[in-house]
Amino acid sequence: MSRYFDLVSKPARDLAGYFPTPSPSQTPADAQPPLIKLDANENPFGPSPLALEAMQSALAAANFYPDDDCAKLRRKLAAYHAVPMEQVLVTVGSTGMLALLCQTMLAPGLNAVTSERSFIIYGMAVRATGAQLIQAPLRKDKDQNKDGFDLAAILHAINDDTRIIFLANPNNPTGTMLEAWEVDQFLAEVPPHVVVVLDEAYYDFAVHFAALRKVEYSRSLEYLRRGARVIVLRTFSKAHGLAGLRVGYGLGPSELLTYCARMRNPFSVSSLAQAAALAALDDDGHIARVVSNNASQAQILTDRLSELGHRVVPTAANFLYCDVGEDASGVAGRLRGEAISVRPLSAWGAPTSIRVTIGTPEQNEFFLSAMRKIAGIPSRAADRPPDVPHRW
Ligand SMILES: Cc1ncc(COP(=O)(O)O)c(C=O)c1O
């Protein structure tokens, strides 16, 4: 009999934990060829040079604790988003904000609602409080949006014990996006005892895709300004390329954020993370290059994977959801043998699908060649397509 089983809390006993794919530090530095990491929706271009410079300057003061309040960064974010500073809470990644909100609002007997096949951390943050996560089914209709959320089913799942709804927009791992009018209609139906989390981790990518497709992506800050019960999540981990620093934030009603702030670990956002985030906000050029590469490469990858007979869901983020029509773990294992890491999605109930981060043009070409190789199709490096203009 284990010595600690009876001593730990029920959530600690029941939780399975999170199993990320290996980080670069876990793969030998001299591995040949070097591993191409397309498994965690990271930015393949790295941090902005301005953020690197700011971290260099901040290093010498690393003997001091960071500003617990992240005042400078909150002030800058407040001005950037045109909201009062009290409506901004900086956290250890946006998952830090998720965890704080769950600790603040949930307890055994209560629940949160989301869609099936969404961000895996929601379940962990909810269950760690002893509450339950209810997952509504995805859309069943056979149109091209069948991988999208069924907002009616999410509304239907709400009960008196629901306190939070999570809407990942765009969603991870499907990459699907809700348009602003859909969220407008949805919010009008949500009862007042429920807070809606609009998780916009892929905001910059989605804004760019929406402009190309001539649709409206998000009015999340307007909801906040008019007093709606929403928390908007943003992060520096994706378009800004600072995933390793763990810095994100929530924008929400000031009273609710005050309660959340009481629950956080003191000094949790490091001084380097604060310095880098402040500088990254000044580098619009970096973001523009990142999102534009992402959109053009999304199209090339989608076309080429479709030619190989795979079903690819149109993405609004920096990754593709691709049904490879066979055991995805096997495909991921064979790609790993070619020094490419992708995410197989059996844990999301999609055993024949993988999620692939959109990389640099070179990384994507390497990935496509590996996909052909593991399928036994001769390489077509010679007829690599020239840069195709955006269609989306
Ligand atoms: C939907 C969604 N939300 C939030 C995050 C978390 O990002 P971070 O905690 O790095 O800010 C991710 C990261 O993959 C995500 O996919």
Which protein residues touch ligand 1 with a CB less than 6 Å away? 41, 93-95, 119, 168, 172, 199, 201, 235, 237, 243, 248
Number of H helices, E strands in the chain: 14, 13
Closest ligand 1 atom to the C-alpha of 237? 10
Q: Give me the domain span that covers residue 70.
A: 51-280
Helix (H, G, I), strand (E, B) or coil at 43: coil
Q: Strand 343-344 to strand 353-357: parallel, antiparallel, or no bridges (unpaired)? A: antiparallel
* Distance from C-alpha of 320 to C-alpha of 119, rounded to nearest angstrom: 14
Give the H/E segment covering residue 225: helix 220-225
177 & 200 share domain: yes
**Looking at residue 145, what is its pLDDT?**
56
Candidates 145, 142, 209; CA nearest to 182 is 145
Q: Which of 280, 308, 337 is the last residue of a domain?
A: 280
**Looking at residue 384, what is its pLDDT?**
44
Structure tokens at 372: 């052909």
Closest ligand 1 atom to the C-alpha of 248? 11
Structure tokens at 128: 């760690």
**Looking at residue 62, what is its pLDDT?**
97
Number of structural domains, the chain?
Answer: 2
* Distance from C-alpha of 46 to C-alpha of 359, rounded to nearest angstrom: 11
264 & 291 share domain: no
**Looking at residue 248, what is its pLDDT?**
98
| Substitution candidate for ligand 1 out of 100, 176, 235, 268 with most atoms within 8 A of CB | 235
294 & 267 share domain: no
Q: Domain with 33 in it: what CATH number?
A: 3.90.1150.10
- Give the distance (Å) from ligand 1 centre to CA of residue 119: 8
142 & 173 share domain: yes
**Between the CA of residue 43 and those of 10, 48, 60, 237, what are the distances in Å?**
37, 10, 27, 8
**Looking at residue 140, what is its pLDDT?**
73
Q: Which of 233, 251, 280 is the last residue of a domain?
A: 280
Alpha helices in the chain (DSSP H): 10-14, 49-59, 71-81, 93-105, 121-127, 151-157, 180-189, 203-213, 220-225, 254-262, 271-280, 284-307, 328-337, 361-374
20 & 123 share domain: no
pTM of the model: 0.93
Nearest CA residue ID for atom 13, ligand 1: 201
**Looking at residue 390, what is its pLDDT?**
36
* Distance from C-alpha of 224 to C-alpha of 172, rounded to nearest angstrom: 23
Q: Domain with 146 in it: what CATH number?
A: 3.40.640.10
Burial-class residue 235 by CB neighbours within 10 Å (0-12, 13-18, 19+).
buried
116 & 257 share domain: yes
On whether the CB atoms of residues 167 and 49 are closer than 8 A, the answer is: no
Closest ligand 1 atom to the C-alpha of 246? 10
Report the chain (392 residues): mean pLDDT per 10 consecutive residues: 84 80 64 86 96 97 98 98 98 98 98 97 96 93 73 98 98 97 98 98 98 98 97 98 98 98 96 98 96 98 97 97 97 96 95 97 96 86 44 34
| Residue carrying the six token digits 């500073």 | 85
Structure tokens at 93: 């990644």
On whether the CB atoms of residues 316 and 175 are closer than 8 A, the answer is: yes
**Looking at residue 96, what is its pLDDT?**
98
Nearest CA residue ID for atom 5, ligand 1: 201
| Residue carrying the six token digits 């956002």 | 269
